[in-house]
Structures are given as structure tokens and as C-alpha cells.
Amino acid sequence: MLKILGKTTSINVRKVLWTCEEAGLDYLQEDYGSGFTPTETDEFRALNPNAMVPVLIDDDFVLWESNSICRYLVRKAGRDDLLPGEPRACAEVEHWMDWQATEFNNAWRYVFPALARKNPAYNDENAIAQGIIAWNQCIEIVEQQLRATGAWMTGETFTLADIVIGLSVNRWKMTPFTHPDVPAIDAWFARLNRRPAFLRHGNNGMV
């Protein structure tokens, strides 16, 4: 059985768990990370030299980086609906996944610990203000895309792009600051809320 190492409060672990359930894959999850089994050990670094979660173990195969894990899982399950085999359709999904892991995630690096986690080390009001602007700019890109498709991130079919973007948008929604109106995102989010796996691992009260 697949084994996923990482605490369920981690947004990147939740991404993998959601993917497993959408793909119909059974798994065993073990809590690793801050507050649980430590990752700063030689044993864990042998699995992931970055000492970060999640880590996937599939028999003798070990994989880290959450988006890579998600790609592997849907390929293993043969779920071309979640990540198409056709090159252009696949690229449509993967470029949103890559953008989420770089531009979108970087936009909240200061704002999220400042406003959602209330971390006193993040108290620069100018940095918070600039971070909100950058985060909202990313949200506007998602809003424009969903206006264009009228359904899911890449069109009429739910894919991995919706999983990775969905968790990031959920984090944005739950971070306390004034949010712009995003009707296309709101409609898409309502569709996500009809997916049981999203309610378990996405919109479950965790930021």
C-alpha cells in the first residue's frame, strides 16, 4: 500500500491526500513534521534530503515534492482525466501546477504567517500590504481563467490543476484581509465543495 509521510495540517500533504482520493488509491498516512515525528533526522533525510513533507513511499520507490507526487499518483491510477496523456492537454494542466508552486505560493510567503498564523516575526506593515497586492494579483489571474472556462481550471473537466489551485485559493479565502469580489472563483469553489475529498482535505477548516 502507498505510504504518505506528512502531517495532515500541511497544505502540501493535503494536496497529495486529496489526489489519492480523487484517483481512488488506498494509502496509509503517517504524521511527520513540526509537532509530530521529526523530519530533521538522518533516517528521514535518507528519504528526502530537504527534510520536508510530504514523502511518498510506494514499495521500494520514494518520491518527494508534492506536485511530482500528485503527477505520479494519477499516472499510477491511469487517470487521464486528472492529467491527460495528450501533450497539449497535459501541458495545460501542468503549467497551472507549476505556476501554483512558484508564483502563486510565493505571493503569500509574508502575508500568510503574518495574518493567518499571527507570527510576531512577520510584523512589517509595508511587507504585508505589498504581499496582499501580489496575492490578489494572482487571484485575479485565476479569476480570469475561470471566467474563460466557465467550469474548471483547464476547461470542462476537473484535473490536478483544480486540486493544487483549489488549496491555494482556500488559503487565500481563509486569511483575514479584505478580499476583492471574485464571482467566477466563488462559483468554482462551490463546485469544489460538492467533492467529498475536497471537504476532507481542502475546505476542512484548516488554513
pLDDT in tens, 11-41: 999 999 999 999 999 999 999 999 999 999 9
pLDDT at 10: 95
Q: What is the mean pLDDT of residues 175-191?
A: 97
pLDDT in tens, 57-68: 999 999 999 999
Query: Is the model's pLDDT at 177 over the cut of 90?
Result: yes
Alpha-carbon span 97 to 191, nearest angstrom: 19
Q: What is the mean pLDDT of residues 131-146?
A: 98
Counting DSSP H helices and E strands in the chain, the numbers are: 10, 4
Domain architecture of the chain: domains with CATH: 2-76 (3.40.30.10), 87-199 (1.20.1050.10)
Grid coordinates belonging to 126: 509595508
pLDDT-above-70 percentage for the chain: 100
pLDDT-above-90 percentage for the chain: 98
pLDDT at 207: 72
pLDDT at 183: 98
pLDDT at 52: 97
Answer positive or negative: Cα dihedral of 168, 174, 179, 185.
positive
User: Which residues is 14 bridged to in the sheet?
Assistant: none
pLDDT at 6: 98
Using pLDDT thresholds of 50, 70 and 90, give the confidence band for residue 160: very high
3-state DSSP of 22-43: HHCCCEEEECECCCCECCCCHH
pTM of the shown model: 0.96
Torsion of CA 29, 33, 34, 37, to 10 degrees: 80
pLDDT in tens, 83-137: 999 999 999 999 999 999 999 999 999 999 999 999 999 999 999 999 999 999 9
CA distances from 39 to 7, 33, 76, 164 (A): 11, 6, 27, 24
Of the CA atoms within 13 Å of residue 94, those in its CB half-sphere come to 15
Grid coordinates belonging to 155: 476547461
Q: What does DSSP assign to residue 106?
A: H
pLDDT at 133: 97
pLDDT at 206: 78
